[in-house]
Chains A and B, each alone.
Chain A
């Protein structure tokens, strides 16, 4: 036999102990990588986002309504940008979540099994479509349609600035479509996880199938649906490339037919040519977005914890 002592159980005990310790240390370091990443991202966002706040003033940036970063006397108010992100996300959620949840109900409760078996993978596939493709369709198909609608509504208006269809409403529709796969997948999973007893008790008491769905199943799947909504909010508020060109390019009051800037699109469209204080303000916008995302993350964590506790 070759190999001799190496193959023996007793052989090289010291070596083995060293390997063991090294392995454990390496794995521990790997695990701390995520912590390190989140801590450094947080630190860097704060470090690069605060100089502009100190120079311009927090109130001036957050509540200022004038955005003229390259003027001789530059103004860096991002109130409309913040409001656009909030209003845009809210509208996208209001539009996308009902459709998404009802589609999830359809897949889990109404659709015949073979149909659901075809539709479900298609929805999963869509979660993987790159966001620039949504943007491409938005600018190519949606914007011209929006422009027609705009001309119809504002016919003869002298005060309205025509946007060529690149406006808040277009961006909202793109965002609503983009959150659909997330909302459908997670809601469907939570609807399917509702104990069969709840459904059969409701049916046995004489409730119709539809009544059962809306009075018993959906309330029981509440925590999953809330999770889906929060994830949808996160995805919508953080989306950049899909709506950069679709939403227009001027900082404006977030009204449906106005050309607007979101927190994300302001960064994408100006970072390339900005410098000095202008660039620092863009990092402040990044910091504002980061704060929003962190709040969403903490909320999500709370919901998931509560859901886990309820199930125990």
Chain B
């Protein structure tokens, strides 16, 4: 039988080769990426226990723990999001609802885009000299939070903008047509309808904050101790408030320092905690995004 018939599939060696390349690449990429998560998780989980999470490393008490770093991370998350969320959402509202397309909008959008492309080490340098030295906040959780605010702003703006775009125009014209003022319409119609998008932005920002290290090393510093709670309730409250002005290292900073010292068990323990946090945040993002799609 002649080989050149329709019924015999021609063998193409290049095809086979390219297909093999595709399979090899995909296997390699997926194996690497899953391997990283599993390795850190399995190696780190042995170190993670109640004492590791609730004590502070101390030579005198012979404890190794990351409670101070957890608290610092929490401080930075809360302060950063408290500042960045209103500004980011406000900026998105301006871009979507008030601004007329033109040079101004394209400048604002270009700078937002630029801001998200600046590497964290540059934010760190800027935060150190501007918030730390010029404004005089020194190495403190507040300096770190201000620096991270600039970093996560584009994330919140962009996600809010996307959510605002999905709100049908008929909602706007309907509300305005019934005599609502623009601000009233934004507050009662637009913001509630775009809430899942805003939440997605906040969770993504949270993930960025938790994973950030280069921007914090020279702004928030590396202290790992907890405030000493003694005496009256008021005193303790004052101590908690004052903590924002003190230096404090987040989980990632502590991981970096531990690995610099060659304390790999502790480093993997912190890595494991970080991966669990990232997993949870990822899950929350998925939930928020699903909610957005359904509406």
B125 contact set on A, CB distance < 8 A: 45, 48, 267, 271, 283, 286
A264 contact set on B, CB distance < 8 A: 119, 121, 214
A 124-144 contacts with B by CB, 8 A: 124-126, 128-137, 139-141
A208 contact set on B, CB distance < 8 A: 12, 15
Q: Which residue from B110, B181, B267 sits with its C-beta under 8 Å from A136?
A: B267
B102 within 8 A of A: no
Q: Which residue from A45, A123, A128 sits with its C-beta under 8 Å from B278?
A: A128
Question: Given the complex of chains A and B, what is the CA–CA distance between A208 and B281 in angstroms?
Answer: 42
Min CB distance B281 to A, Å, is: 7
- A64-72, A100-108, A193-201: which lies at the B interface? A100-108
Question: Given the complex of chains A and B, what is the CA–CA distance between A107 and B29 in angstroms?
Answer: 11
Does B259 lie within 8 Å of A139, measured CB to CB?
Answer: yes
Does A129 lie within 8 Å of B108, measured CB to CB?
Answer: no
Question: Given the complex of chains A and B, what is the CA–CA distance between A121 and B210 in angstroms?
Answer: 20
B32 contact set on A, CB distance < 8 A: 177, 180
A 151-178 contacts with B by CB, 8 A: 177
Question: Given the complex of chains A and B, what is the CA–CA distance between A141 and B38 in angstroms?
Answer: 14
Q: Which residue from A110, A137, A267, A297 sits with its C-beta under 8 Å from B22?
A: A110
Does A30 lie within 8 Å of B210, measured CB to CB?
Answer: no
A297 contact set on B, CB distance < 8 A: 113-114, 117
- A17-25, A51-59, A73-81, A250-258: which lies at the B interface? A17-25
Does B91 lie within 8 Å of A30, measured CB to CB?
Answer: yes
Q: With A126-B36, A131-B211, A132-B259 in contact, do A9 and B179 touch (Cβ < 8 Å)?
A: yes
> What is the chain B residue whose CB lies nearest that of A130?
B211
Q: With A20-B182, A210-B19 in contact, do A140 and B264 touch (Cβ < 8 Å)?
A: yes
A181 within 8 A of B: yes
A290 within 8 A of B: yes
Q: With A45-B125, A241-B214, A296-B117 in contact, do A130 and B278 touch (Cβ < 8 Å)?
A: yes
Does B91 lie within 8 Å of A98, measured CB to CB?
Answer: no
Does A245 lie within 8 Å of B278, measured CB to CB?
Answer: no
Proximity bits, A231-254, B CB within 8 Å = 1, else 0: 000100111110011000000000
> What is the chain B residue whose CB lies nearest that of A23?
B183
A41 contact set on B, CB distance < 8 A: 118, 122-123, 126, 150
> What is the chain B residue whose CB lies nearest that of A40?
B130
How many residues on B have C-beta within 8 angstroms of the other chain's C-beta atoms? Answer: 84
Does A129 lie within 8 Å of B211, measured CB to CB?
Answer: yes
Does A124 lie within 8 Å of B157, measured CB to CB?
Answer: no
Q: With A132-B255, A210-B19, A267-B125 in contact, do A122 and B181 touch (Cβ < 8 Å)?
A: no
B138 within 8 A of A: no
Does B95 lie within 8 Å of A31, measured CB to CB?
Answer: yes
Question: Given the complex of chains A and B, what is the CA–CA distance between A81 and B70 in angstroms?
Answer: 35
Does B39 lie within 8 Å of A98, measured CB to CB?
Answer: no
Q: With A99-B25, A126-B33, A130-B278 in contact, do A136 and B259 touch (Cβ < 8 Å)?
A: yes
Does B117 lie within 8 Å of A128, measured CB to CB?
Answer: no
Q: DSSP class of B's interface residues: helix, strand, loop or mixed?
A: helix
Question: Given the complex of chains A and B, what is the CA–CA distance between A28 and B157 in angstroms?
Answer: 13
Does A245 lie within 8 Å of B181, measured CB to CB?
Answer: no
B153 within 8 A of A: yes
Proximity bits, B274-295, A CB within 8 Å = 1, else 0: 1100110110001000000000
B107 within 8 A of A: yes
A141 contact set on B, CB distance < 8 A: 39
Does B275 lie within 8 Å of A133, measured CB to CB?
Answer: yes
B150 contact set on A, CB distance < 8 A: 37, 41
Does A24 lie within 8 Å of B259, measured CB to CB?
Answer: no
Proximity bits, A243-285, B CB within 8 Å = 1, else 0: 0110000000000000000001001100110000000000100
> What is the chain B residue whose CB lies nearest that of A239?
B119
Does B107 lie within 8 Å of A35, measured CB to CB?
Answer: yes
Q: Which residue from B29, B36, B90, B110 sits with its C-beta under 8 Å from A301?
A: B110
23 pairs of residues in contact across A and B, judged by CB atoms under 8 Å: A16-B181, A27-B91, A28-B98, A30-B89, A33-B91, A35-B107, A37-B153, A41-B122, A44-B126, A98-B25, A99-B25, A110-B19, A110-B23, A111-B26, A125-B37, A125-B282, A129-B275, A130-B252, A131-B213, A184-B29, A283-B125, A289-B119, A293-B119
Chain B: residues with CB nearer than 8 A to chain A? 12, 14-15, 18-19, 21-23, 25-26, 28-30, 32-34, 36-37, 39-40, 86-91, 93-95, 97-99, 107-108, 110-115, 117-123, 125-126, 129-130, 150, 153-154, 157, 179, 181-183, 186, 207, 210-214, 217-218, 252, 255-256, 259-260, 264, 267-268, 271, 274-275, 278-279, 281-282, 286
Q: Apart from A33-B153, A272-B218, list 20 A-B contacts with CB within 8 A.
A: A28-B94, A30-B88, A30-B91, A99-B29, A100-B25, A121-B286, A124-B282, A129-B36, A130-B255, A132-B255, A133-B275, A177-B32, A210-B12, A237-B119, A241-B213, A241-B256, A245-B259, A267-B125, A293-B118, A296-B117
